[in-house]
Amino acid sequence: MNLCAVVNGRTVGIRVLRSDVMRPKVDYTAWIGRSRRREARLSAGDIARLAAVLDRPALPATVPPVWHWATLLDAVRQSAIGPDGHPERGDFLPPIPLPARMFAGADMTFEAPLALDIPTVLTETIEAIDEKTGRAGALIFVRLARELSQGGATCVREVQTLVYRDAGATPAAAPQPSEVKAHWRETVTPDPVLLFRFSAATFNSHRIHYDRAYAEGVEGYPGLVVHGPLIAVRLLEALHAQTGYAPLVAFRFRALRPLFDTAPFAVCGRLEGKAAELWAEAPDGGVAMTASAKLA
């Protein structure tokens, strides 16, 4: 935010962080523990759309790990969508005033495969809300627990971390290359069509992924932002190519910096026994996402 002041008869500009001025402290205690529940039959069509985006030659018989992101989607009415394309805040998620939102990471365990065309229950609970300060200024982290069950048994447990911050470019950190030697490395070329199709497959209407004028002009990015879940899925697809789709029991990822449609990036990994270390490499060689997976 730019303010003006008169000093010795001259008007001068003063730049301050938007999070530092005119933003009242909000008590989010009442939102912690809030839950919601959805039930539906998992559709083969949902899985087929994501399989097409990922160029899978055949439709999986069950829902692959993390593909639950394309199921049990929240069909929010158009009148309830906010200016960034996300659902307006204050219904289930708290009314956090910071404008920019990102999916920063998740921890998952897979206890049983999710079957198609049977009733499935998704329960979501807000576990914690933490306020911090980083290079981007004020940050608010929301930890969201999600559980998918079929026939009364839990199949997938997931804890998502959502981060909210001010709009505008974040000061860039020096690129940090991976210290681990990769066993494999694949190049991914993101483009607007890929990002749009992944948005459609996961019913994600966040404008930073398909609206270039909004991504660059409002949120201050240098291009369209590659979805964190898309990067995570591509990390797992590269792992599956090495293991022949061996079942997973756990997966976690952390987004460290955004990737854009302006240049290719790489998905890399190393497998030691049943444990895999995975990471996404930005065009400058720095690590953009770290992940780990545990095979059954």
Question: E strands, 19-66, where?
Answer: 35-41
Structure tokens at 197: 């199709």
- Domain contains 136: yes
CB atoms near residue 90 (< 10 Å): 11
Residue 68: which domain range?
25-295
Question: E strands, 151-286, where?
Answer: 153-165, 184-188, 248-255, 265-272, 275-281
**Residue-level pLDDT at 266:** 98
**Residue-level pLDDT at 133:** 84
Q: What is the CATH number of the domain that holds 115?
A: 3.10.129.10
- Domain contains 6: no
- Domain contains 8: no
Q: What total of structural domains would you count in the chain?
A: 1
- Domain contains 7: no
* Distance in angstroms (rounded) separating the CA atoms of residues 153 and 160: 21
- Domain contains 75: yes
Strand-pairing partners, residue 293, are 251, 276
**Residue-level pLDDT at 181:** 93
Q: Over its length of 296 residues, how does the chain's per-residue pLDDT go in tens digits?
A: 443 433 334 433 333 334 444 456 678 899 999 999 999 999 999 999 999 999 998 889 999 999 999 999 988 899 999 899 988 888 899 999 888 899 999 999 999 999 999 999 999 999 999 998 877 688 999 999 999 999 999 999 999 999 998 876 566 677 888 888 999 999 999 999 999 999 999 999 999 999 999 999 999 999 999 999 999 999 999 999 999 999 999 999 999 999 999 999 999 999 999 999 999 999 999 999 999 999 99
Cβ-Cβ contacts under 8 Å for 189 (sequence gap 6 or more): 264
- Domain contains 156: yes
**Residue-level pLDDT at 102:** 92
